[in-house]
Structure 1
Amino acid sequence: MKNSISERIADFLKKFPPFSYLSLEELFDLSTEITILYKTKGSIVFKNGEQPHDFFYVVHKGAIALWKEDENVVIDICDEGDIFGLRPIIANDTYRLDAKAQEESMLYAIPISLFKPYAKENGSIGNYLVESFASNTRNPYSTTHKGQLLGDTAKFNPNNSGSRLLDVQPVEYSDNIASVTMETSVKDIARLMTQKGIGAMLIENEGLPVGIITDKDLRNKIATGNFGIDVNAEQIMSSPVITYPTKLTLTQAQMAMMKSNISHLVLTEDGTVNTKALGILSKHDIMLSLGNNPAVLVKAIKRTKSVDEIKPIRKGVMNLLMGYLDQNIPMSLTSKIISELNDACIKQVIGLSLQKMEKEPPVSFAWLAMGSQGRSEQMLHTDQDNALLFNNVEESELETTRDYFLKLSKHITQGLNLIGYEYCPADMMASNPKWCKSLSEFEQMTAKWIMNPGPEEVLLCTIFFDYNHTYGDKALVEQLSAYIFDTVEKYPIFLSHLATSALQNPSPTGFFRQFLVEQDGEHKDTFDLKRRAMMPLVDAARVLILSHNITGISNTWERYEKLAQLEPTNEELYLACSYASKALLKFRTRQGLTHNDSGRYISLQSLNKEEKMKLKRTFKTVKEIQQLISVRFMTHRLR
């Protein structure tokens, strides 16, 4: 008769290395000897200095914290599928850390005497254990390991040519090589180049590149009369050939061409003239590659004469974003560049829309990006959130002025929709009279929200208060910001309402730290990354920065970095929140690009263990920052 408990243990373990390297029969034999342990929150598994147990442990449910007790520092948090307590047994040493249940946990205690033979006989298991011991996971929230969360896991070295922005995309080259021998006449070479529509001919000897003839050579050496058209290739070719390997970065290619004052590079198998040519790279190829360079994209956007022309350039922006993610460029830098490109697109749409108007704007105005776009966190195309703010006018001129700007706003929102920004389902757009107002009207509206903060008013604040100036009169925007902050200072109870709202988003995890998924509707059984993980961090940053009366910072991680400066006692938590917000945005962007959607709803089945682990580690910060604002703003008084 089969042991159903052992079968369940084996089914669990086979999903995780090194147990995944065992055969099913081996895994089942091992599982029959495994003991299941239940640990309450705070209970000890083993202590520093204690002799090793006869078992090592695997976390089935919950989380085990490994503490360096003398320094009161959490070194690591082990969760589902993680092994701990094995090193002292292998090394024949005492435990060097305390292992304590971070929450209610279930563990599998695996007898070391039974496991050792597998580790000795199975090379994959042995290698895995060696690598694990050599690369201990550290506490991602500690000051010592800043920047090691999901958002900035790559070691970005600005001095490394492979990480520079121009090197993000590899150059594209022509592998359709046309070649002739050294004895071929220039006349025949010119005819072949014309037939094939190419600007360079490779000259080979015994299958290896020895020279190149370009259009420039034909102009400078043949058309001038210095050589006749019947001379052979050897007499006018440029030699030796400048060669590089095919894995060439854009910057390297540009530098090579400038250094040698040439327009073509030959790419060979090993980068030398001693191996076969695989392709030819021209200045034209480089210009095509530069199409995904930020500076070139901005120039292309500014040169457009219609909104239709902007749409294909947006594809270049998305290609650039994918390149940055592939190269693990830090999210803080990626978001700045993509946001600048998004702003450039919006500014051009506004400029083109102004050209459609019959007359100039009656007064100065400013275009406000709101929500994620206002925070410079809109990496993918989501819906529009915007407003138009215009200067004060006489009461008799107000509606006429508003009509002008509503017409302009309609042109703009239609243009944004054409280039990929969906219309806001809640109509929170400048084409709606509610979001097309004079300065005094916006001041009256926001004052009403702050002085009478009901649920709807607070919700509107969470979107509107993240606005950012995109186009037009910046002084108008600064005037509105100053008014809002002054009003908040006079009515501090508003911050408690805003903090209470920030706690409305449910926790990312439930019992045993399981992801809480949607229970019904279109996205049933998926994890809402935005609502459960990202928005709690965004909302907390907003209320905290408002409480310090800091203007001009709308980006979430920049808000936390500023808060870390303002409150040194909470520096570590705020920096952890900064890293977590970048991590979650990077994760959402990857998911969105992979699945061609907004990346908001995640199918947990599509995630591997490492991705789930990294997400769960960011959730720790969500819980801690919510606890901080709950205490600071005494939200219990409003419940």
Structure 2
Amino acid sequence: MSYEDIRKWREQQIHLQMDHEQLNDFHDDLMLKTVQLALEKVKVEQGEVPAPFAFFLMGSAGRREQSIWSDQDHGIIFNGSEQHQAYFQKLGAEIVDGLEIVGYERCEGKVMASESRWTKSIEDWKRQVSDWLDEESWQSLRHFSTFFDSRVLLGEGKLLEDVKQVTFSYIQSHPEIMNRLVDNVGFIQKGVGVFGQLLPQQSGKRTGQINIKTTALFPYVNALRLLVLCNHIMKAPTLVRFAALKEKYSFLSEYHRLFESLLAFKFQFTKDATEYEEVHYIPLKKLSKKDKQELKEYMKKGAELFQQAKNTIEKECSKW
């Protein structure tokens, strides 16, 4: 099997996926086959894997929220010495090349296992996470949030768990960091104007289209990440985070249903996108009056949920 074979399989099968869950299962299969092939290639060229490792996904892939097109967000943790860094970065570079051939765009921000920032030994990863939180800059906390939305696709799951455990220890001894993390994601792009009208892009090639990711999805995603951090839960997919927290926070039940419905809504309106750029935008002219009302409700409730999460964190998590 080659990367080209996997790409052809993707092209034949991806439009047959019937809903959001099926589509994300399919992405997992595609990426796993690609990563396994990359690993075999590197073994032939560089020899056997020198240390236990985990290849993990971040971003929408980590949260199982990928659309029909997706870019790459991933990293590697290995349990070995500095001399193994070169091997795992070569593996990361091979994975990036393979995924690109299969149909996953390179990440513009270089959040990929080919980069030294995202491929490290477990000790360096633990230091990196603590340094990001210590630094408290907008960018370092953004890197941290990206990292925390991670799950292992191939390899030793315990390695990622051990790094995430460092996060919880840090928050325990520096509870005030939770307020900084809230502020870091506190800006919610307005999707609805003062007169109750949807606010599409006003210029450029997306004129007349609304960014469903920033205006509707992100408030739910950010709220749930903050709540699992506060409760020391490692899970990455937002739907799994809802399920893990619902018993403690009964107010989440309504938002859980809404978020599932929002993912189905996004799937319906982006499943025929022909390129990665398109999957975050919905042309307003595609939406019926009922669709527009639904979208406004998702946005309104997302902002409401974020505020509830913020209040919960101020009360429970930021001053142990």
Alpha-carbon displacement from aligned partner over 1:307-340 (angstroms, at most 9, x marks no partner) = 211112113431321xx24xxxxxxxx41x4333
Task: State the alpha-carbon separation in 2 of the partners of residues 417 and 500 from structure 1.
Answer: 34
1:222-371 pair list within 5 angstroms: 305-321=1-17, 324-325=18-19, 334-335=20-21, 337-357=22-42, 358=45, 359-371=47-59
Pair 1:344–1:492, CA change in 2 (3 A): same
Task: State the alpha-carbon separation in 1 of the partners of residues 146 and 153 from structure 2.
Answer: 16
1:499, 1:629 within 8 Å by CA — same for their partners in 2? no
Q: CA deviation at 1:591?
A: 2.1
Q: CA deviation at 1:521?
A: 3.9
Higher helix share: 2
Tell me the equivalent position of 1:619. 299
1:58-137 pair list within 5 angstroms: none
Higher-Rg structure is: 1
Alignment of 1:410 onto 2:93: yes
Q: Secondary structure at the match of 2:181?
A: helix
Tell me the equivalent position of 1:486. 169
Pair 1:521–1:444, CA change in 2 (3 A): farther
1:388, 1:430 within 8 Å by CA — same for their partners in 2? yes
Task: State the alpha-carbon separation in 2 of the partners of residues 633 and 341 from structure 1.
Answer: 35
Q: Secondary structure at the match of 2:154?
A: strand
> Which of 225, 228, 233 is the equivalent residue of 1:550?
233
Residue type matched to 1:500 in 2?
D
Aligned-pair identity (%)? 27
2:93, 2:114 within 8 Å by CA — same for their partners in 1? yes
Alpha-carbon displacement from aligned partner over 1:87-132 (angstroms, at most 9, x marks no partner) = xxxxxxxxxxxxxxxxxxxxxxxxxxxxxxxxxxxxxxxxxxxxxx
Task: State the alpha-carbon separation in 2 of the partners of residues 430 and 567 from structure 1.
Answer: 36
1:590, 1:599 within 8 Å by CA — same for their partners in 2? no
Higher strand share: 1
1:498, 1:543 within 8 Å by CA — same for their partners in 2? yes
Task: State the alpha-carbon separation in 1 of the partners of residues 60 and 261 from structure 2.
Answer: 15
Q: Secondary structure at the match of 1:511?
A: coil
> Which of 146, 149, 152 is the equivalent residue of 1:466?
149
Tell me the equivalent position of 1:609. 289
Tell me the equivalent position of 1:510. 193
Q: CA deviation at 1:620?
A: 2.7
Q: CA deviation at 1:634?
A: 4.6
Alignment of 1:589 onto 2:236: no
Q: CA deviation at 1:440?
A: 0.8
Residue type matched to 2:242 in 1?
Y
Task: State the alpha-carbon separation in 1 of the partners of residues 165 and 291 from structure 2.
Answer: 42
Q: CA deviation at 1:345?
A: 2.1
Tell me the equivalent position of 1:388. 76
Tell me the equivalent position of 1:498. 181
> Which of 522, 539, 545 is the equivalent residue of 2:222?
539
Q: Secondary structure at the match of 1:523?
A: coil
What's the C-alpha RMSD, in Å, of the aligned pairs? 2.0
1:367, 1:469 within 8 Å by CA — same for their partners in 2? yes
Q: Which has the higher contact order (CA 8 A, sep 6+)?
A: 2
Number of aligned residues: 311
1:500, 1:630 within 8 Å by CA — same for their partners in 2? no
1:367, 1:388 within 8 Å by CA — same for their partners in 2? yes
Alignment of 1:523 onto 2:206: yes
Task: State the alpha-carbon separation in 1 of the partners of residues 114 and 295 from structure 2.
Answer: 38
Task: State the alpha-carbon separation in 1 of the partners of residues 194 and 162 from structure 2.
Answer: 48
**Structure 1 residues not aligned, in runs of 5+:** 1-304, 326-333
Alpha-carbon displacement from aligned partner over 1:402-431 (angstroms, at most 9, x marks no partner) = 111111111111110111100001111001
Q: Secondary structure at the match of 2:76?
A: strand
Task: State the alpha-carbon separation in 1 of the partners of residues 285 and 7 from structure 2.
Answer: 34
**Structure 2 residues not aligned, in runs of 5+:** none
> Which of 281, 305, 311 is the equivalent residue of 1:631?
311
Q: Secondary structure at the match of 1:594?
A: coil
Task: State the alpha-carbon separation in 2 of the partners of residues 435 and 634 from structure 1.
Answer: 31
Alpha-carbon displacement from aligned partner over 1:433-492 (angstroms, at most 9, x marks no partner) = 111111111111111122232111121122111001000112212211222222222221
Task: State the alpha-carbon separation in 1 of the partners of residues 167 and 136 from structure 2.
Answer: 14
Q: CA deviation at 1:592?
A: 2.0
Alpha-carbon displacement from aligned partner over 1:178-228 (angstroms, at most 9, x marks no partner) = xxxxxxxxxxxxxxxxxxxxxxxxxxxxxxxxxxxxxxxxxxxxxxxxxxx
Alpha-carbon displacement from aligned partner over 1:553-605 (angstroms, at most 9, x marks no partner) = 2111221232221123x2xxx12222222222222222222342442112112
Task: State the alpha-carbon separation in 2 of the partners of residues 350 and 603 from structure 1.
Answer: 35
Q: CA deviation at 1:525?
A: 3.4
Task: State the alpha-carbon separation in 1 of the partners of residues 310 and 170 from structure 2.
Answer: 22
Task: State the alpha-carbon separation in 1 of the partners of residues 169 and 205 from structure 2.
Answer: 43
Q: TM-score normalised to the size of structure 2?
A: 0.91
Q: CA deviation at 1:365?
A: 0.9
Pair 1:489–1:519, CA change in 2 (3 A): farther
Task: State the alpha-carbon separation in 2 of the partners of residues 352 and 623 from structure 1.
Answer: 42
Residue type matched to 1:468 in 2?
R
